[in-house]
Structures are given as C-alpha cells and as structure tokens.
Amino acid sequence: MDFLKRLEEHRSLEKELAWEGTFQEYLQIVKERPWVCQLAHARIYNMIRDAGVEEIDGVKRYKFFASELFGLDKTLEKLVEEYFHPAARRLDVRKRILLLMGPVSGGKSTLVAMLKRGLEKYSRTDRGALYGIKGCPMHEEPLHLIPRELRPEFEKEYGVYVEGELCPYCRMMLETEYDGRIENVRVERIFLSEENRVGIGTFTPSDPKSQDIADLTGSVDFSTIAEYGSESDPRAYRFDGELNIANRGIMEFQEMLKCDEKFLWNLLSLSQEGNFKAGRFALIYADEMIVAHTNENEYKAFISNKKNEALHSRIIVMKIPYNLRVSDEIKIYEKLIRQSDLKDIHIAPHALRVAAIFSVLSRLKESKKQGMDIVKKMKLYDGEDVEGFKQKDVAELQNEAPEEGMSGVDPRYVINRLSSALIRTSTRCINALDVLRALKDGLDQHPSITGEERERLLNFISIARKEYDEIAKKEVQKAFVYSYEESARILFDNYLDNVEAYCNGTRLKDPITDEELDPDEKLMRSIEEQIGVSENAKKSFREEILIRLSSYARRGKKFDYTCHERLREAVEKKLFADLKDVVKITTSTRTPDAEQLKRINEVSNKLISEYGYCAVCANELLKYVGSLLNR
C-alpha cells in the first residue's frame, strides 16, 4: 500500500509541475526567473555545477559524475572547463560537435547516458525548468516569437539575449491560428525525455543503403499533400528527425564515424551556424548539443580521409582514456557487479584489487625515469608513498606518456571472467586466486591477443599475484596480533621517545629505575630496517619524523604511526616479523593441538568479523598464507 501511495504522490507532483499559459504570462516568468530561457549548453553546464564541485589536489571533482565515472577527474575537468563552460557563455565552441574518443568500455557511453538522464531530472527542477511553444514539434523557445527588430529593446528591458528563429511550423501556426498576435500564443512547460522524444535524441548508424536521411531531419507526410497542396507546406512535413526533436537539449550520435558521408553533411551547417536543412524549407535553427563517440582507429581513418576536411575543424575531440588508479578501478567493478546478478555472491577482500592491479598495469606505459618501474608507477598514481618519489612526480610521469590509458584490458573483460569463475565454482564465494586463475584462462580464449601481448599480460598476472601474496601475509599477520592497535601504539611511542632523544642529543629516563639511558639504537634500527632505511639515511629519516610531529602539534592534531605512511609500514612489519614464526607454525600444522586450534579459530573469527571474509575464504586464506610462509 505504501508503494501505491507513492504512485499517487508521483501523479500529484506531475500535475503540480505542469504549466500552461499565454506568451504574455510567459514573459512574466522570464522576468522573475530569467534562467528558464538559457540555451542548451548553459543548461547542461549549470546542471553539472549545481550538483556540486569540490577541489582535491588541485583537480576539480564534479559530484554529478561521481556515482558512475571513476578515475576520470582530470578528463572530466577538462570537458567541463574547456567545452561546457565556454559553450555556456555562448562562445563559438558550442556550435562544434563534441567527439568523445577512447577505448571500448572506457566510459564514453556512460558519460553521455549520465548527461541525458541528468537533463531529464534537471528539467523537472526550478533551476532547470524550460518552456516551449505549445504544439511545436521542436519544443521551441517562445522568445523566438519576438520580431528580430525588437530583440535589442527586449534584451535591454529583460536582460535576456534571444537567439534563433521560429521553425517553419510555428511561423505558419502564428499566422493561421493566432493571426500574428504573439502575446496570445500558448506556451507550456516541457520536460526533457528520451522516451517521449522531447529534447533528447539518439542517432545510430545502420546500413547506408537502407537508412534514410529523414531519420535525422524529418520527412514529408505524403498522406497530407492532397490536403495542403504542397511539399513545402510545414503542415505536410513531419519534423520528427533526431535533429528536430533534440532541440533544446542533447543529440547523441552513436559511432558517428561509422556513418555514411551524406549523414555527416547535415552536420556541416549545424556545427558552424547552428542550423540545418530539412525538406523544402529555409535553414532551421537548432539549440542542441551534438555529442558523438568513436574509437581511436576510426578517428585516425576519418582524419586521413581528405573528403572529411570540412568537418575536421568543426569537431572538438575529447579523449576518454581508461582509469589508471587501482582504487578507482575497484569502484568500477563494484558498480558493474551491483548492476549484475552477482549480487548474492560473496567476493573475498582483495579479489577485486588483484583484478584492478592486473587491468591498470596493462594500461600503463614503462617510464624512462631512473628507478621507476611499472609497479611503483601504479602505486604512485594511486596516491601511495613510493620510496624515492613524491606525488609531485606524477605530473611528470603523465607528461612522459600522454597516450597512457588509451589501450589495455577493459573492465568488461574482468567482469566477464568473474562471471566465468562463478559458473565453475561450487561455492558462493570468489577469492583473489580464483580471479587470477579466471583472468589467465580468459587470455587463451581471446582471439585478438597476439602471442607477445599474451606473454605481457601473463607477466602482469604474475605481478598481481606477488602483490596479493604480500597483502595476504599482512592480513593474516595483522589478525594474529592481539590488541594490534595497542601493540603498534606502544611500539610507536617507544620509537618516538628514542628518536626525539637522538635528534635533540638528550638521554632517556628509565620509568622504573629512573636511570638515564642513551637512545636505543637497536630498537630504532630494527624498525627502520623494515622499510630499507640505510645507516646513512637514518638521521634524515628521524629528523623528518620529528618535523612531521611538530607540524601536527602546531595545528593541535594528534600524531600517531598511521599519519606517516612509511613509518606505519615499518611499525607493522616489525610487529609482523616478531610474530612470523608463530603464524607459520599455527597455519601449517596438519594436526594442530588445542592451543593452536584455538588460535586459528580466533584468527578466523577476526578475519570474518573485522576484515569482511566469510568462513570459506577465511579458511582458504589461512591455508594459503601458511604455504607461503613455509616456502
């Protein structure tokens, strides 16, 4: 019954949003809310901005895209600031075709779908409201009714710029139905909808022999010619092509470069003058964003064809590469899994991470920078600390490989392999090793992969396996450390006391005997050696820790071992090293004694309760780590 109540509420809301009145009444709305007559690009730009913007590490992040697109923040910032923003300010860029170019499953279609769905919702809000001439097949802006001679005066009084001319149908309707009295013309609020073909159009190329140009520009209704006497009578024409119905919104040109040339010719005047030719009429004004997508090979073939030169300068190409951050790649898989029937399957922790590592490695280019290998590059891109490099090096690495991300393993391949792994297993749980096995098996079935490429991808699977081995060992060892946080804090505090005394040239006081002691060099080195801090580098490392500590103190913030990535790793490794033998014996014993069994059960429970494992994958993890430690 609650749902039926929601249906009733929805119907009521629809009635509340609907509005109809005369042009005279519409002018009052324009005076109070001038944004209702903004052009299509301005509406799209404002829709994106109104959803919220935040700046992270100097890169703008648009919340509008946050739920669907991951790892494309810089690309989206470029799209919004270099295309939508100037287009919203009525600069000439708005008349260009936006061509999204990138590899398969990179997010091009998702981006366009988000703009379409977003516009549908936005047109139902106050900020996104728009109105059209009632009965107009192109949902025309009512201000087009104002004669061109009076527009400067109108702009002066209302502060609104009017662009565009009446379509042939409205021009005739004004004369035949309203006797030229524009103040009486009926105006209604319109809601953009792809399903209802209002303000959102989609054109998909098909066989050029059978596809008609009418799909784009409309066609003559021959059944009415006898009634109206001429093909040039607007009433005898169906203004129902994709370019017609997309007026006021967005028109998606799917796989534009696969299209026959005659279909592209229609875009020449649209991308230069903002109008197009239909039937036996003058040029028809269209206020719409044209967005197309293609892949790199088709684009190169298009550019090399001299016949297409006229369109080259009328296209703005925006590259949409694959995501290059492991953490964002995991979000992509999680989104795809939510959309599938895999929702009831338990996916063990780090299973998606190893797949993401494999995918991202396949997309990265080797760096010429000394000391930088592909794994370090992957970690640096993901915001991790890498010895010898800082986050400021990321920009230099990206400039070194501008085409990075335009090739590699696509997310759909990973999801397909996950599905395959599920079919083969009898359990309802997939772990990291299942995923790696499925990815490897899939390479043999991939027809387009060359022998050389296969070897390269197998190497990445091997690297992902090594990364997982380290993660697995840490996970189990961490679970073995009882009151882990407390143990880490005590070790860290002890280390910090000694570092402070070492850097300040003072001595420590024994809390029990009050005896003054020299800083414990053995303790400090046992921690620092865990992360490869050499004897020569120990002084600068300790001073860096002390500087970080005083920086936190000045800001009134508490400094603990997790505040410094390398120190966190050192403390964890030191604790793990002390427990390694215990872990090895307990996990590898075929017939554990009561004490060992108790410990295994406690660790298993901790993995299940705190780390997201189920009974099946927790048990498999313990067995796997036991085998690793015994090698």
Residue 360, pLDDT > 60, answer yes
pLDDT at 582: 67
pLDDT tens per residue, range 590-619 = 666 777 677 778 888 888 988 889 988 888
pLDDT at 174: 93
261: exposed, middle or buried (C-beta count within 10 Å: 0-12, 13-18, 19+)?
A: exposed
Whole-angstrom CA distances from 341 to 421, 578, 579, 605 are 14, 44, 41, 28
In the predicted model, what is the mean pLDDT of the chain? 86
pLDDT at 331: 93
Give percent of the chain with pLDDT exceeding 90: 38
**Measured on CA atoms in the order 344, 349, 355, 359, is the torsion positive or negative?**
positive
pLDDT at 589: 64
Between 110 and 236, the more confident residue is 110
Residue 442, pLDDT > 70, answer yes
Between 622 and 258, the more confident residue is 622
Q: What are phi and psi of 231, to 5 degrees?
A: -70, -20
pLDDT at 602: 81
pLDDT at 567: 83
Mean pLDDT score, 250-267: 80
616: exposed, middle or buried (C-beta count within 10 Å: 0-12, 13-18, 19+)?
A: middle
Closest to 489 measured CA to CA, from 558, 557, 427: 558
Mean pLDDT score, 67-77: 92
pLDDT tens per residue, range 454-505 = 899 999 999 999 999 999 988 887 787 665 667 778 888 888 888 888 888 8
**Distance between CA atoms of residues 343 and 326, nearest Å:** 22
Residue 622, pLDDT > 70, answer yes
Residue 137, pLDDT > 80, answer yes
**Distance between CA atoms of residues 617 and 262, nearest Å:** 58
Strand, helix or coil at 445?
A: helix
Among 208-217, 241-250, 418-427, 544-553, which range has the highest average pLDDT?
A: 241-250
Out of 278-292, 347-361, 473-487, 617-631, least confident range: 473-487
Whole-angstrom CA distances from 630 to 371, 481, 506, 535, 584 are 31, 19, 44, 31, 7
Among 34-43, 330-339, 567-576, 616-625, which range has the highest average pLDDT?
A: 34-43
**Distance between CA atoms of residues 110 and 100, nearest Å:** 11
pLDDT at 1: 55
288: exposed, middle or buried (C-beta count within 10 Å: 0-12, 13-18, 19+)?
A: buried
